[in-house]
Chains A and B, each alone.
Chain A
């Protein structure tokens, strides 16, 4: 097992390198760069030339890439060209903020989806199924920014029950209650956003399982519905669902970009979108590196979980 994991990680490294080169090439192909986004009519040509030289834009593209790579290998993410901040410093606070938001909401969505998916799948085409499936379909169709604005309007403006900006009221950073007040609305939005996909996944998995032979056999033996559900079907349904958990790991970084922007939640989302708009390549590359690393790790975790939970795969692998 350990050998397998190490082998996977080693093969992942050239993949991440290739992703970073691809990203860098694409950003360079854009006709304009970060300096162009900062030029104002009052700036003379000399000042613009000075700015370009300062950020290394006067060097050829591959030199810029190599010097960026050199920095990364020494553990330095570098500095943002637009905000001039240290990227590692920014990322360390922002990732934590994003995780604080996404982890609870995803876990809640996960648990609720399993329950609802199982209920829907086992009562296929009955009213429970129709209700839950209907909710899932509507959930997939509604955009998160619309739901966010709706909740802000009702709870933040009309009823004045909850604050609508950010993660804390300034000066109350230690207060957990204050954090919860700010947390509730984006949390609800994200749960509504994550659930539909998972519900339908679990539901279809359940339906497939219910049509298997072993279920018919169990029914013939006289097992009750709940017994079939929880002693036999559940395990088989949860197998692919557990692997989904692994695939959701990259969402810890980029799962809530729009929601964070609407609520001014100081996470990765707004940071990333500002960087993309400003053609700020050090920031974009850093986040992409992290994100692709997480995808690879997520896949690896999913595979391992699969291995651990399904004895059939262990035998084969």
Chain B
């Protein structure tokens, strides 16, 4: 028994060691990147039945953007046309007539035409689908009416005129093929059965739950023939693992934060940092229902030090842009020329507090306990307020609890943090600031703000709108319910073997603009 044991054990150990040695011999090749394959690391799983009607998570939207096409995309103040070639606005400004490209075919050979566009919008407007874009087309005033003018012309009539309606078509409205989805009753229980029928630059060919999504190039892509054969979205939930993988070359691109960036030897690992403005505003808001005196709110703002807050989280000024109003600085209507910036002024802060009879003010600061940026800001704000004689208590909350308590009338804090990315049109911010807006977390009730938002969509003239929004930005800052801290860039580390990034474009949310322009230099 003794000998037998020993023999067994030693045999076992030899086996294990041989297997290990064998695998290590081959290993040096497999750690490196595959030729012809572009690997992008994503932190979550979009799910196999990712589709433009119901997907709402960042990774689902990214996938949709790779395989489907919209009618057009908004590029600053211009339109970048995709499936549509142009549009006309009727005299009463309520009807949009789009002309479509006639040279596009779906990857299964069927021609793309107006039926697909109509079908897509109808699916979005179907309440059973619970699509995120539902409210863009159906509101208390009525539904959008759709008319098929001919095979390549469609018109949409809105119940009322607004310059913000164009945006409804540009974001997250990717056209799906009617002939494939016609009999689908539930988009969320689709089983993935193989290559999806698309008009985008890439076709989804393989999905491995929790691991990756694999895309092959669409040779018939109507904008451009893609250069890279295969794109892989690799799901890596641990940031620490991803940080090592991008440096070892196992992945080609990884969105990261300033904190991780500091730990990485960018040049030595053959990487380049791409930081672009994603139209985000990181902010602190005031609970206007508990702090009702505008002078007190302004006093709080005068005690803060914006630069200190921004650099504490984003470290390098290259990682963020300054922002002083509710709009992000890359927005066409951003105008801070006459806005109150609340440069740090402790004396002024104390003066205002005295005026309002609020010396010795005591506040509660709420923040999301799992968000390290918010935690840093909360601690700093507590410190900065103390300089003006304001004492603050911290109230950290778990993520879901935090973001849901904001939607309720009673919030257990006076100051709180957040960040948003809305759309290109300022009207998309209305729900955040109007008195009965569904996302008005600060509970502010300002009639002038309501009036100005309404005025902003009453005209289509960009100069008139610019004047309205300039005033609106000033009014909201005077009201002191939101203190914009910084507009942080989205940072992506990309391996130098990838080029064509400028033509492809790096955009908010989807990150990869048009993947067909990316190339690999081996």
- Among A160, A163, A170, A263: residue with most chain B CB under 10 A: A170
Give the contacts of B293-316 with A (CB-CB under 8 A).
Answer: none
Cβ contact within 8 Å between B22 and A79: no
CA distance A213 to B447 in the complex (A): 92
Cβ contact within 8 Å between B27 and A266: no
Residues of B within 8 A of A153 (CB): 244
Cβ contact within 8 Å between B245 and A165: yes
Q: Which single residue of chain A is at the shortest CB-CB distance from B128?
A: A54
Contact with A along B19-48 (1 / 0, CB 8 A): 110111011101100100101000011111
Residues of A within 8 A of B428 (CB): 42
Tell me if A83 counts as interface (CB < 8 A to partner B): yes
Residues of B within 8 A of A230 (CB): 1-2, 5
Tell me if A44 counts as interface (CB < 8 A to partner B): yes
Residues of A within 8 A of B188 (CB): 79, 84
Q: Which single residue of chain A is at the shortest CB-CB distance from B440?
A: A41
Tell me if B211 counts as interface (CB < 8 A to partner A): yes
CA distance A53 to B432 in the complex (A): 25
Residues of B within 8 A of A66 (CB): none
Tell me if A59 counts as interface (CB < 8 A to partner B): no
Tell me if B112 counts as interface (CB < 8 A to partner A): no
Known contacts A90-B209, A170-B232; is-contact A156 B31 (Cβ 8 Å): yes
Give the contacts of A226-267 with B (CB-CB under 8 A).
Answer: 226, 230-231, 261-264, 266
Pick from B45, B189, B423: contact of A86, CB below 8 A: B189
Contact with B along A150-176 (1 / 0, CB 8 A): 001100110011111111111110000
Contact with B along A126-137 (1 / 0, CB 8 A): 000000000000
Known contacts A41-B431, A44-B431; is-contact A165 B250 (Cβ 8 Å): yes
Q: Which single residue of chain B is at the shortest CB-CB distance from A268?
A: B210
Least CB distance from A253 to B in Å reads 15
Q: How many A-B residue pairs have CB under 8 A?
A: 177
Known contacts A50-B130, A163-B30; is-contact A231 B189 (Cβ 8 Å): no
Cβ contact within 8 Å between A162 and B47: no
Q: Which single residue of chain A is at the shortest CB-CB distance from B138?
A: A46
Tell me if A279 counts as interface (CB < 8 A to partner B): yes
Tell me if B273 counts as interface (CB < 8 A to partner A): no
Cβ contact within 8 Å between A152 and B241: yes
Pick from A46, A162, A168, A169: contact of B134, CB below 8 A: A46
Q: Which of A2-10, A177-185, A282-290, A294-302 contacts B (4 or more CB under 8 A)?
A: A177-185
Cβ contact within 8 Å between B241 and A264: yes
Tell me if B443 counts as interface (CB < 8 A to partner A): no
Cβ contact within 8 Å between B211 and A46: no
Cβ contact within 8 Å between A162 and B34: no
CA distance A45 to B437 in the complex (A): 10
Residues of A within 8 A of B420 (CB): 41
Interface size of A by CB at 8 A reads 66
Cβ contact within 8 Å between B2 and A226: yes
Tell me if A15 counts as interface (CB < 8 A to partner B): no
Residues of A within 8 A of B431 (CB): 41-42, 44
Pick from A45, A53, A167, A261: contact of B211, CB below 8 A: A167
Residues of A within 8 A of B236 (CB): 165, 264
Q: Which of A19-27, A29-37, A201-209 contacts B (4 or more CB under 8 A)?
A: A29-37
Residues of A within 8 A of B401 (CB): 31-32
Pick from A162, A231, A266: contact of B209, CB below 8 A: A266
CA distance A178 to B210 in the complex (A): 19
Cβ contact within 8 Å between A44 and B209: no
Q: Which single residue of chain B is at the shortest CB-CB distance from A118?
A: B5
CA distance A5 to B235 in the complex (A): 43
Cβ contact within 8 Å between A36 and B134: no
Least CB distance from B165 to A in Å reads 15
CA distance A279 to B404 in the complex (A): 14
Tell me if B238 counts as interface (CB < 8 A to partner A): yes
Pick from B134, B241, B403: contact of A50, CB below 8 A: B134
Pick from A40, A115, A162, A166: contact of B31, CB below 8 A: A162
Tell me if A61 counts as interface (CB < 8 A to partner B): no
CA distance A108 to B250 in the complex (A): 29
Residues of A within 8 A of B438 (CB): 43-45
Cβ contact within 8 Å between A94 and B248: no
Residues of A within 8 A of B39 (CB): 170
Q: Which single residue of chain B is at the shortest CB-CB distance from A271?
A: B210
Known contacts A42-B428, A93-B209; is-contact A152 B189 (Cβ 8 Å): no
Tell me if B395 counts as interface (CB < 8 A to partner A): no
Pick from B20, B27, B44, B189: contact of A84, CB below 8 A: B189
Main secondary structure of the interface of A (DSSP, over half): helix
Cβ contact within 8 Å between B238 and A264: yes
Tell me if A270 counts as interface (CB < 8 A to partner B): yes
- Among A50, A86, A93: residue with most chain B CB under 10 A: A50
Cβ contact within 8 Å between A178 and B30: yes
CA distance A12 to B170 in the complex (A): 56
Residues of B within 8 A of A94 (CB): 209-210
CA distance A36 to B409 in the complex (A): 16
Known contacts A38-B56, A41-B439, A178-B30; is-contact A164 B250 (Cβ 8 Å): yes
Cβ contact within 8 Å between B34 and A171: yes
CA distance A240 to B72 in the complex (A): 69
Residues of A within 8 A of B130 (CB): 47, 50-51, 53-54
Residues of B within 8 A of A38 (CB): 56-57
Residues of A within 8 A of B251 (CB): 165
Residues of A within 8 A of B210 (CB): 90, 94, 266, 270-271
Tell me if B101 counts as interface (CB < 8 A to partner A): no
CA distance A162 to B29 in the complex (A): 9
Cβ contact within 8 Å between B432 and A157: no
- Among A39, A42, A156, A274: residue with most chain B CB under 10 A: A42
Tell me if B212 counts as interface (CB < 8 A to partner A): yes
Residues of B within 8 A of A261 (CB): 237-238
Q: Which single residue of chain B is at the shortest CB-CB distance from A53?
A: B130
Cβ contact within 8 Å between B28 and A161: yes
Chain A residues in contact with chain B, CB under 8 A? 31-32, 36-47, 50-51, 53-54, 79-80, 83-86, 89-90, 93-94, 108, 111, 115, 149, 152-153, 156-157, 160-172, 177-178, 180-181, 184, 226, 230-231, 261-264, 266, 270-271, 274, 279
18 A–B contacts, CB within 8 A, in A order: A32-B401, A39-B404, A44-B431, A46-B135, A47-B132, A115-B5, A156-B244, A156-B245, A156-B248, A160-B27, A160-B31, A161-B27, A168-B211, A171-B37, A181-B26, A230-B2, A261-B237, A274-B237
Chain B residues in contact with chain A, CB under 8 A? 1-2, 5, 9, 12, 16, 19-20, 22-24, 26-28, 30-31, 34, 37, 39, 44-49, 54, 56-57, 127-128, 130-132, 134-135, 138, 188-189, 191, 208-212, 214, 232, 234-238, 240-241, 244-245, 247-248, 250-251, 400-401, 403-404, 407, 420, 422-423, 428, 431-432, 438-439
Q: A36-B403, A161-B24, A264-B238 are in contact. List 5 more A-B contacts (CB 8 A).
A: A84-B49, A84-B54, A164-B241, A165-B234, A262-B241
